[in-house]
Structure 1
Amino acid sequence: MIIGCPKEIKDHEFRVGLTPSNVHTFSEAGCKVYIEKGAGEAINFYDEDYKNAGAIIADKEELFEKSEMIIKVKEPVKEEYDLFKEKQVLYTYLHLANDKELTEMLLKKKIFSIAYETIRKGKLLPCLAPMSSIAGRLSIIEGAKYLEKTYGGNGTFIGGAPGTRKGKVLILGGGNVGFNAAQMALGLGAEVIIADIDLARLEYIDQVFHSKITTLYSDSGNIKEWIRDCDILIGSVLIPGSKAPKLIRKEHLKLMKKGAVIVDVAIDQGGCIETSHPTTHTDPIYIIDGIVHYSVANMPGAVAKTSTIALTNTTVPYGLKIATLGAKEACLQIPELTEGLNTIDGKITYKGIAQAFGADYFDPIATLQAYQ
C-alpha cells in the first residue's frame, strides 16, 4: 500500500503521524511512504531523516494524490477536505460525533475511515490511552498555571506552602485521563478528589493511591456540593466515539469560587462542561462568570515530541496490518480495527456517531463484506 503522512496544520499542532523509524518499518514491509516536506521539522524529525529511512518527500497535493492511505494525528481540517480522493483510507483521530461537517465529507467521498479513539481491545482503547495519559497529566499543569492571578485565577498555589491550605482538585471521571490527572495533582501536593459512577474503579483508585485520594460516587447532587470548594475542576468523562455528557451546567458556575479553573479534557468529544468550547494553544482560555475555562482540543500537542513517539508506538502496529493486508481484510481479521471503523463506502459504521446525528447506522462486518 502507498502511505501518505501530511504535515498537521491545526493551530500549534506539531505532532506527526509517522516518525523516521516508523517509515523504516513500513518500507521494510514493502510499502511506499510519502512524507510532506517539513512534516516533522518542529520536533527535530527532519526531511533528511525521513529520506534516509526510505520516504519520498513531497508537497501536500502530490502526497494526497498518490497515497492510498493517509496517516495523520488530528482530524482533517476544511483546507484538506478537497485533497481527499474517493475511497481513500484515512487512519487518524477523528472524534466525528462532534463534527458533522467532517462526517459529511467522509461520507460524500466514501472514505474508509478508521479512528484511533474507537479502536478497542476488550475494555481498553489502546490508541487513545497514551494521549489520555499525557492529557491527564497536562490538565493539572495547565490548571495550576491558570490558577495564577496573572491569568484571572484565584492565586492559589496548588501545592500550598507551610502554614497554608493546599489547592483542591476535583476530577470528574476516574478513567485513564482522571487517573493520570490524580497522579500528577497528588505529586504536586494538592488535595485530590475523584468522582465516578463505577464503584469498582473507585475501589481500585483508592487502593492504588493508598487512600491518599478521596473517592466519591458521582451524581448531580454531589457534584453541586463538591464544586463549591474546588480550585481546579477537571472534566475527564469519556464515552468512546460518542458525545460527552454535560455534567457541569452554566448555573453551576455561580456555585464555584471566583478564579477557579475548569479544564475540559473531553472537549474533543464536545466537552462535559456546558460552557466549554474548543480553544487553541494560541488562545487557550476564556472567563465566564469569574471561572477560568481551559479547553484546548489538542492538549498533547504542547509536548509534541513525546506525544508523537507515545502515539505511534500504538498506532503503527495496526497501521502496518492495514497497509499489508489491505483495509478491508485487516478490519475483517482484527476485531480491534473493526471497532475502529467509523465510515466506509458512504455509510456510518459506528453507533455513537450515527446517534449523534440521527443518521442511519450500518453493521461494520456486513458493510465490509459487501465492500468492493
Structure 2
Amino acid sequence: WCVQKCPYCDFNSHTTTAALPEQDYIAALLSDLAADIKRFHITRPLTSIFIGGGTPSLFSGTAVRTLLDGIRQHLVLDKHCEITLEANPGTVDEQHFAAYLQSGVNRLSIGVQSFSPVQLQRLGRIHNPSEAVRAVKTAQAVGFDNINIDVMFGLPQQSEAQAMADIEQAIALHTEHLSYYQLTLEPNTAFAYRPPQLPDEDRIDRRFERAKQLLQQAGWQRYEVSAWSRGQQAKHNLNYWQYGDYLGIGAGAHGKITDNRQNRIIRTAKPRSPKSYLQYFSCYSSAPLTITESHERIVGEDEKAFEFMLNVLRLTHGFQRQWIAQRGLIEENKVLPKLQQLAAKGLLIIGKEHISPTALGENFVNDMVSDFLE
C-alpha cells in the first residue's frame, strides 16, 4: 500500500486512506511462506530478507517484528543475514526507526529520489527535501549503520545544477549505499499516458559522467549499473544480479527457484490484488494456488541465456564462467560465440574463469543483453 501513487511507478502498489490490515496481512505472508517452503522443499538458510513495497514503513514496528519472528520459525537465518526495509521519508520518524531496528531490521532503503522541491512535486512524492535529509539523519542517529538512499536522474525538465545538487547532497549524507538510476517511462503509468519533458540523452549522459566523477572522488565504488557503495554492497540485490534464487512472498511478489533435479528454473508470481491475496491465504490449505490466483512457469530453453545475461551483465566486476552452467543451466558453448563477439567489440573481457564488462561495456549493457534475445 501507499499514501499516493507516484506517476512514474509501475510497481504493484495500491493507495489507501484506511487502516492497514497488519495482522491479517502478516498472517497471510507467513502462510504464503509456509506454502513455498513445502512446494519447493526449501531448507537452505536465508542470507537476506527484503521488505519492499508499496510503502512498508506504513507498517508498525510490532508488525515487522511479528513477521520476522514468524520467518525465523520457518527457516534458519544466516548469522549475517541482511534484513532491509524500504522507507518513505514522509511516513517515518524517530519512533518508527527505533522500532524497526529493535524488530531486527538492520538495513534501510530510503526512497529520497531527489532533494529538489520542484522535482519532488513533479514526481508526486509526499515528502519535501528537509524531510528527506531528516529521515536519513534520524535513522543514523537511532543506530542504523547500513542505509541506502534512492536518487534518480534524467528527471522532468531537470537542469544540470539540480542534478549535481542532488548527487552532492547524497554524498554529504554519508550513507553506506546509493541507488542512482535514470527515470524511465514505464507502460501503464501516469507518466506513460502524459509524458513529461525529459532532458535529451546527450545531456543525461554528460550529467551521469559528472555524477560518476563526484562519487568516485568521494570514495564511492560502482559495482552494478545503478548501485554504488562505500564498502557495504546490497546482499539482496547482489543475489538477483548474480542470478541466485529467492522466494517472492506477498501480493504481486515474484520468485525464482532453481530445480537442479529436473534441470529447470521456475518463476513464480503471487496474486496482485491485496484483497485476493488475503482472501486466499486466510483460508490457506496445502493445495497449490490455482492458475487464476497465481502464476508459475518454467523458463524456456530459448529464454535462459537472455534471463541470465539480463542480470549478470549488470555487474561491473562481472561474473564467474561456471555460473553459466551452474546458475543459468546453460551449456557454455551455446553462448560463448556471442560473448566472444562482444569481446571483439571491446565490450567484454573473457578470462579463463571470469567474464566482466570493460569501461566501454558498462555504458552498453542493454545492447549487450539484447544480443541474447531469441
Q: TM-score by structure 2 length?
A: 0.29
Higher relative contact order structure (alpha carbons within 8 Å, sequence separation ≥ 6): 1
